[in-house]
Structure 1
Amino acid sequence: MASDSHAIDVTIEPVPRWRDRVRVWSGSAAYVRATDALIALAAASLPWSTTALAVFMLLWLIAVIPIIDWEQFILDLAQPAFALPIALVALALMGLAWSETSWAERLQGIKPLSKLLLLPFLLSYFQRSQRRLWVFAAFLVSCTLLMFLSWIVLALPQLKLAHTASGGVPVKNYLDQSQEFTLCAFSLALPALTAMRARQWRIAAGAIALMLLFIVNMLYVVSARTALVTMPVLLVLFASLHLSRRATRLLFAAVALASLLVWATSPYLRQRIADVGIEYRAHDTSGIASTAQRLTYWRKSVKFITEAPLIGHGTGAIKHLFMLDAAGQTGLDAEVINNPHNQTLNVAIQWGLIGVLLLYAMWTSHVRLFAGRDLVSWIGLAIVVQNITSSLLNSHLSDFHEGWMYVIGVGVAGGMALRARRPEKLLAGTAAARELKRIT
């Protein structure tokens, strides 16, 4: 039998490894768009649902891991803005060792700060995302819908989406709503000013109208007094950064006249301010009053801090300390809480002077991210300053809602600010993009 005269040349191409397939898939434009959409949806859900926010943030973190440039990420961790949030959480973990409360309370004490671990990932990712403004736009649109619904449910309370104690609050509570509206109002200030300088009158009128709607809602419908304290601080900050002396004087004169008008026409605002004095006089009674509560919490907190000033009483110790102090007491002194309504005191009780230094170093590093005069720098700076100011009267970095406002806002705006500072490093793209090019 004759042998075949022609040999068949068969070339078997290697099957791509699963890791290479993942890199190709995660480096696709559709995948990156979907990742951007997840964080935008998280920002949009923040005013409405804690569950939806948690789900979207978890999905975003899972999606972003394959496309992080890990070499650059490790280098970025040397920067204070990246490292200090991690250091604060690490201190909280170490604080488990010297806390004298139950392990359930210790582990619960980790939860309020754990969200800070996402800040480095957000800062890294949004140095490269091409749809960074999606997040701010989604949050603004969502808060605008909430604001209009607030007016509606004020007139028709039966349309509330959840049971709330205050009129004009469709979901959650007036504290969270006020923080959202304050941030949106002052974020619109620079676009309005820029449009006016460019003689783009329609854009300027729209931004000013929306800004005033947020502010009027807080002055006539419902507001937290913390927001009323924060607003003048942001106003002074905006004027000092973006207005001339003459424009500043005109603005303050207009604000003074508007304040007199609002005071004369808003019974709600007058009552909110008058309640401060009533609540202060209730300090030594058994009644529950916001101002009196805070004074009691702060007085006790200072006492706890002096007992362990350097490293504090450990993670999760706040409730345990208040419980011990409440024994045999009556009235406000008998209250047991796990939040002293001041971020500095919250940190100092648990981790002492070391924790306070880390907290203030982190805030300072994030303020320094936003040294520019552009829109992103203004939004980022407003977020940080709002958190610092409101944390004088609340533990807003540890609180769920305001803490996530800080993490998402600083992460997105901070990443954009870092991109503007070092574009030459970003033109190379992510490690995933480089790998995609090599494979294909």
Structure 2
Amino acid sequence: MLFALLLFALLAIGLGYSAAEPADALDALKKYRELLLLPVMVSLLSMHRLAGQRAEQFFVAGCLTLMLISWAMALNLVPSERYGNSLLFHITHSFFMAVLAYWALIYAVNRQSRRLLWIAVFLAATANLFYIAPGRTGMFVYLCLMLLFIMQRLSRWKRLSAIALLVIALIGFYCTSANFSQRIELVAQEIAAYQPGQARSSIGQRFDWWMASLHLIAERPLLGHGTGSFLAAQQQQKWGSDMQPSNNPHNEYLFLAVQVGIPGLALFLAILLCQWREGLRLPPEKKNLMQGVLTALYAGSLMNSLMFDSHQGHFYLFMSAALMATGVEPPVPTDAVEKDSMAGPH
């Protein structure tokens, strides 16, 4: 947890030399409050185990509710909202459907009494992701989580068969789902049509922002350009004048390096690696879920700035804290310690 506090402190220091306006820089710092709250939540939940269990239960219930509403919209049982067949932006919705599918799969293999229920949830979440939700980030996260599940649960010889089945399933989705096939074909078209500095497509703009990030990191690799500085620093450069403006490069790793340099990126990676190591000490189900939370963050952060985004950032905060707290020994009451010392040796 020390690394999380150090990274937040580094971002706070970055306010002092940020290329952004003070109000914009401060707003960016607020987006990273998860770093400040993470050690607090782990400490609080470790003292109240039931609260950690309830946090996990309410998260799953929230994802189930989101999925059911999405299906109801798709089936015209309730009116669609501004985001189509979801209450959330499509990137956020697809991310949570991928996580819900993985969570349900872990529950299905560990909870025999309700195995059929969780298999049904897994299938419904998977179908919602590939047939209803247009978010490519969620589809990528889903693929990474399924590969993680295969590595976690299957022996070496069964892994190849499981990966083959996963590939067959993806081919099946491509052949039967216009939602999935059109999104994949659009990726290919956007990559083929990409022209540096002139892109207006989703993939093309990301390529521009990533290239801009690399230029900015090369300019100030140690300190970065300051907290919330991506848009201002990009606009100050001649090579970035034709790019679509954005307050972040849609890649958390590059975004942190632009803001607070390579040391900031190293601290972020250290946080994730330490959490992975701590997760190895958890009970089997919690260990698998913890690895799922981190893998979703690893994968999603390649395509979006997830710590900077509200929903995904708070998911990471609360779920990693709740799962880590299960591996922390609860404090021994003071009166119990005193009674044990007074009893003396037997």
Fold shared by both chains (TM-score > 0.5)? yes
Matched, 1:99 2:18: yes
1:86 aligned residue: 5
Moved more, 258-267 or 390-399: 258-267
| Deviation string, structure 1 residues 133-160 (Cα, Å, up to 9, x no partner) | 2111111112112111111212328623
C-alpha contact 1:186 1:234 (8 A) present in aligned 2: yes
Matched, 1:236 2:140: no
Task: State the AA in 2 paired with 1:224.
Answer: G
C-alpha contact 2:234 2:240 (8 A) present in aligned 1: no
Matched, 1:194 2:121: no
Task: State the AA in 1 paired with 2:69.
Answer: L
1:397 aligned residue: 307
CA RMSD of aligned residues (A): 2.4
Mapping of residues 42-57 of structure 1, within 5 Å:
none
Matched, 1:127 2:46: yes
Aligned-pair CA distance for 1:246: 4.2
C-alpha contact 2:18 2:229 (8 A) present in aligned 1: yes
Picking from 343, 349, 355, the partner of 2:264 is 355
C-alpha contact 2:71 2:85 (8 A) present in aligned 1: yes
What secondary structure sits across from 2:327 in the alignment? helix
Q: Distance in 2 between matches of 1:205 and 1:157?
A: 26
What secondary structure sits across from 2:119 in the alignment? helix
C-alpha contact 2:257 2:264 (8 A) present in aligned 1: yes
Aligned-pair CA distance for 1:272: 0.4
2:165 aligned residue: 254
Picking from 310, 333, 341, the partner of 2:222 is 310
Matched, 1:345 2:257: no
Mapping of residues 315-334 of structure 1, within 5 Å:
315-325=227-237, 329-330=241-242, 333=243
Q: Distance in 1 between matches of 2:317 and 2:107?
A: 23
Picking from 81, 97, 101, the partner of 1:181 is 97
What secondary structure sits across from 1:392 in the alignment? helix
Share of identical aligned residues, percent? Answer: 26
Matched, 1:168 2:77: no
| Deviation string, structure 1 residues 71-121 (Cα, Å, up to 9, x no partner) | xxxxxxxxxxx2111111100111122223321122122112122211111
| Deviation string, structure 1 residues 222-273 (Cα, Å, up to 9, x no partner) | 1421222222222222222222234434433332332232222111111000
Q: Call closer, same or farther: CA 1:327–1:209 in 2, change over 3 Å.
A: same
Matched, 1:110 2:14: no
Matched, 1:428 2:332: yes
Aligned-pair CA distance for 1:176: 0.8
| Deviation string, structure 1 residues 25-80 (Cα, Å, up to 9, x no partner) | xxxxxxxxxxxxxxxxxxxxxxxxxxxxxxxxxxxxxxxxxxxxxxxxxxxxxxxx
Aligned-pair CA distance for 1:373: 5.5
Name the count of aligned residue pairs. 335
Aligned-pair CA distance for 1:399: 1.1
Mapping of residues 368-387 of structure 1, within 5 Å:
368-371=277-280, 372=282, 374-387=284-297
Q: Distance in 2 between matches of 1:293 and 1:101?
A: 21
Q: Distance in 1 between matches of 2:20 and 2:108?
A: 51
Q: Distance in 2 between matches of 1:281 and 1:157?
A: 39
Aligned-pair CA distance for 1:312: 0.6
C-alpha contact 1:369 1:418 (8 A) present in aligned 2: no
Mapping of residues 205-284 of structure 1, within 5 Å:
205-284=116-195
Q: Call closer, same or farther: CA 1:148–1:362 in 2, change over 3 Å.
A: same
Q: Call closer, same or farther: CA 1:87–1:154 in 2, change over 3 Å.
A: same
C-alpha contact 1:339 1:395 (8 A) present in aligned 2: yes
Q: Call closer, same or farther: CA 1:133–1:328 in 2, change over 3 Å.
A: closer
Q: Distance in 2 between matches of 1:193 and 1:206?
A: 11
Mapping of residues 409-420 of structure 1, within 5 Å:
409-419=319-329
Q: Distance in 1 between matches of 2:240 and 2:315?
A: 39
Task: State the AA in 2 paired with 1:349.
Answer: V
TM-score by length of 1: 0.71
Q: Distance in 2 between matches of 1:188 and 1:295?
A: 34
Q: Distance in 1 between matches of 2:136 and 2:38?
A: 28
What are structure 2's unaligned runs of at least 5 residues? 338-346
Aligned-pair CA distance for 1:280: 2.0
Moved more, 85-94 or 245-254: 245-254
Q: Distance in 2 between matches of 1:238 and 1:378?
A: 8
Matched, 1:137 2:48: no
Q: Call closer, same or farther: CA 1:365–1:327 in 2, change over 3 Å.
A: closer
Whichever of the two has the greater Rg, that structure is: 1
Q: Call closer, same or farther: CA 1:320–1:128 in 2, change over 3 Å.
A: same
Q: Distance in 2 between matches of 1:329 and 1:319?
A: 11
Mapping of residues 31-42 of structure 1, within 5 Å:
none
Q: Distance in 2 between matches of 1:316 and 1:141?
A: 34
What secondary structure sits across from 1:338 in the alignment? coil
What are structure 1's unaligned runs of at least 5 residues? 1-81, 420-425, 435-440
